A and B are shown apart, each in its own frame.
Chain A
Amino acid sequence: MLRFHRRRLAACSVALAAALAISACGSKTGESDSTGGVTADTSGDTVKVGLLNSLSGTMAISEVTVRDAIMLAVEEINAAGGVLGKKLAPVGEDGASDWPTFAEKAEKLIKVDRVAAVFGCWTSASRKAVKPVFEENKALLFYPVQYEGLEQSPYIFYTGATTNQQIVPGLDYLKAQGKKSVYLVGSDYVFPRTANKIIKAYAEANGLKVLGEDYAPLGSTEFGTIVNKVKASKAEAVFNTLNGDSNVAFFKEYKSAGLTAASMPVVSVSIAEEEVKSIGTQYLAGQLTAWNYYQTTTGAANDKFVKAYKAKFGADKPTSDPMEAAYVSVYLWKAMVEKAGSFDVEKVKGASNGVTFEAPEGLVTIDGATQHIHKTARIGKIGDDGLITEVWNSGGPVKPDPYLKGYPGASGLS
């Protein structure tokens, strides 16, 4: 008797669910989609903007400084009168180094806070997680970190370098230095794996030998074996796409194994001034980096940026490329809004092509077709004082080419 009732209970609830589900069917895939997305709330004296960075978890080591840079830009803009006469009200959310959390918080910023634009994300995985959210709701994301390319979302503006503005110049530099062979070391995720595919394609086209390729899980700090392999390969240079904590362990091991910048230089694409500070110059002095901006980059705009940043966050805090790209992204959005004369996402997007900003890294221009920006590539050498000084640059801003269409050796990558 008892048993019978419970079965019926279970059956009832399933039936109820099924009935409700069937009665509530919406549109099928492929049908025209009329959901228009959410419009930002611009009715008051202030306009909300979203800041989406990891403040806790493993990625906080990098993302907190990016958020500081965004806050600096927001405050400067407010002090100068805001955007279209409205002050910006920043709404911060913690992505917690967890990709689904990024998606949840992005949706919250768009739907609940109704922000006009969101600035943030660092890892490719977090960007991939929020991309559908921004596309579905037709909202804007400004992504400030160098990445692996092969992406062009209509609702994301990429203010960091794509591969032809960082990886390819790094290789050009090695080639110009007469290096004939490289060893590839990277963290096990999408950026290093894609970057290394590009490097291998480049190497084949340019007579460079790739002597080995190794990946360490993100967060891994055991590099004994990898460094042994690198040393045994007798490569002329190392191309390093490790991320975060792993870099610290890698360089400590590298130095301990007796490898030096003179004998086997390492070109890194994820080590900026902040990371140099946490690894230590005793391990890094003389090694190379590929970026678009250094704290030492010359120019009035950079002097002002560095001074303002240090005044706000402390004299010992360095500025770095991702921070600069994040800072620039807020100003670029402001310029786009002012050109469009509206906060409306479609109008802002429409106004984007050719918008320029005198950035700390030099003049940057938005390429409307790809929604990336023209940036100058710079190779730097890490000095004993922890600062990075430029040893080579591309001479002027490089046009973004996220799918490397202009590089015949790289065809078939995407």
Chain B
Amino acid sequence: MTVILGQLFTGVSIGAVLLLIALGLALTFGQMNVINMAHGEFIMAGAYTTYVLQQTITDAGLSLLVALPVAFAVAGAMGVLLEWALIRRLYTRPLDTLLVTWGVSLMLQQLARDIFGAPNVQTKAPDILTESTSLGADLSIANSRLFILGLVLLAVAALTAALKFTPLGRRIRAVVQNRDLAAVSGIPTARVDRLTFFIGSGLAGVAGVALTLLGPIGPTMGTNIIIDAFLVVVVGGIGQLKGSVIVAFVLGMLQAMVEYLTTLSVAKVIVFIAIVAFLQWRPQGLFTLRTRSLA
């Protein structure tokens, strides 16, 4: 029984990690339809930011807190640079963006290798985040996972509020729903695009900071997780946040349960089959944005 409960929480926390990685993509891919393969490298940039900050701020807890906004800014700035230099030329060719950003991701990985060295680097987590909270008997929950769950819920709430209630959020939604109409209404769509990209990439940086608590910090850390994140957004449905949120937790739960009964490899394959089957039922994802446009 305790094992089942433990697995339930594992499922939730896998979902939280998935969501954290996918949240930025839900903006850049979901709202702008840009397949940015370098998103994983923005996550890497966030993780390395934590590492660099720890070289000066030795207190682990403080450096982690400082790293969150700094990583947001660093990854966001990288995103804006990428958008300005390349992606804005490619909005009409979404699939070419994928190839171009993949080339960029290759270069960023090599850059990380040249700056920080090929081996992984280490960050120190505050002691409290390496321990676990006991819930009686044999059941305990890792504090790092609780922290990530809290962080992702906070990020989702902030993003939802920003999209709903701020003028910028209204503009973003207007551009997503009908770019031409937004442009004629006087919304500077190019600037909105850049801001959206800044926020989406910045969220990748935040995810990178959180991932230092769980996994390795190295040049290829981004590539391993990026496809899962794209799947979350695809299944969740483009143009909405709630789809990604639900799908991330459902997939996390599914993976945790199947993996417990079989193996990690089988779980991954079953999750993929479930996704294909699901898209048969709802080819546009869980939630779709209703528009009048054809195609």
Contacts and interface: CB of A to CB of B under 8 A. Distances in A.
Contacts of A216: 264
Contacts of A60: 113, 118, 219-220
B261 to A, nearest CB: 10
A224 interface: yes
Identify which of A244, A252, A274 gathers the most chain B CB atoms within 10 Å of its CB.
Answer: A252
Contact of B264 (A217, A228, A252, A274): A217
Contacts of A245: 120, 215-216, 218, 220-221, 224
Interface string A272-288: 00110111101100000
Give the secondary structure class of B's interface.
mixed
A57 interface: yes
Interface string B112-131: 01000111111111010011
B264 A256 contact: no
Nearest to B146: A256
B119 A274 contact: yes
A232 interface: yes
Count class of interface residues, chain B: 35 or more
Contacts of A258: 131-132, 134, 140
B189 interface: no
A228 B257 CA distance: 12
Interface residues of A, number: 44
A280 B123 contact: yes
A230 to B, nearest CB: 11
Contacts of B123: 280
Interface in A60-80: 60-65
Nearest to B120: A278
Contacts of A277: 119, 122
B264 A279 contact: no
A231 to B, nearest CB: 8
A188 B217 CA distance: 21
B31 interface: no
Identify which of A217, A219, A256 gathers the most chain B CB atoms within 10 Å of its CB.
Answer: A256
B118 A283 contact: no
A385 interface: no
B119 A278 contact: yes
A256 B120 contact: no
Identify which of A188, A214, A228, A277 gathers the most chain B CB atoms within 10 Å of its CB.
Answer: A228
B10 A224 contact: yes
Given A214-B263, A256-B145, A221 B3 contact: no
A278 B218 contact: yes
A252 to B, nearest CB: 6
Nearest to A219: B224
A55 B127 CA distance: 35
B40 to A, nearest CB: 12
Identify which of A60, A217, A255 gathers the most chain B CB atoms within 10 Å of its CB.
Answer: A60
B284 interface: no
A282 B142 contact: no
Interface string B4-32: 00110010011001000000000000000
A228 B4 CA distance: 10
B268 interface: yes
A221 B215 contact: yes
A283 B130 CA distance: 8
A64 B218 CA distance: 13
A136 interface: no
A278 B217 CA distance: 8
B13 to A, nearest CB: 6
A245 B259 CA distance: 20
Contacts of A280: 122-125
A377 interface: no
B145 to A, nearest CB: 7
A252 B213 contact: yes
A228 B10 contact: yes
A229 B259 CA distance: 10
B125 A282 contact: yes
B215 A257 contact: no
B220 A57 contact: yes
A58 interface: yes
A46 interface: no
Given A248-B215, A252-B215, A282-B130, A228 B119 contact: no
Given A188-B265, A221-B214, A64 B256 contact: no
A220 interface: yes
A220 B220 CA distance: 12
Nearest to B260: A225
A109 to B, nearest CB: 21
B23 to A, nearest CB: 18
A253 interface: yes
Nearest to A220: B264
B256 to A, nearest CB: 6
A139 B220 CA distance: 33
A248 to B, nearest CB: 4
26 contacts: A60-B113, A63-B118, A188-B265, A214-B263, A217-B265, A217-B268, A221-B215, A221-B221, A224-B10, A225-B256, A225-B260, A228-B10, A231-B6, A232-B138, A245-B215, A245-B216, A248-B215, A252-B214, A253-B214, A255-B131, A256-B132, A256-B143, A258-B131, A258-B132, A278-B122, A278-B216
Interface of A: 55-58, 60-65, 188, 214-217, 219-222, 224-226, 228-229, 231-232, 244-245, 248-249, 252-253, 255-258, 274-275, 277-280, 282-283
Given A232-B2, A280-B123, 13 more contacts: A217-B264, A221-B214, A221-B224, A225-B256, A232-B6, A248-B216, A252-B213, A252-B215, A256-B144, A257-B140, A258-B140, A278-B122, A279-B120
Interface of B: 2-3, 6-7, 10, 13-14, 17, 109-110, 113, 117-125, 127, 130-132, 134, 138, 140, 142-145, 213-221, 223-225, 255-256, 259-260, 263-265, 268
Query: What 8 A-B pairs are tightest by C-beta distance, nearest first?
Result: A256-B142, A278-B120, A224-B10, A248-B216, A221-B215, A64-B118, A249-B215, A245-B216
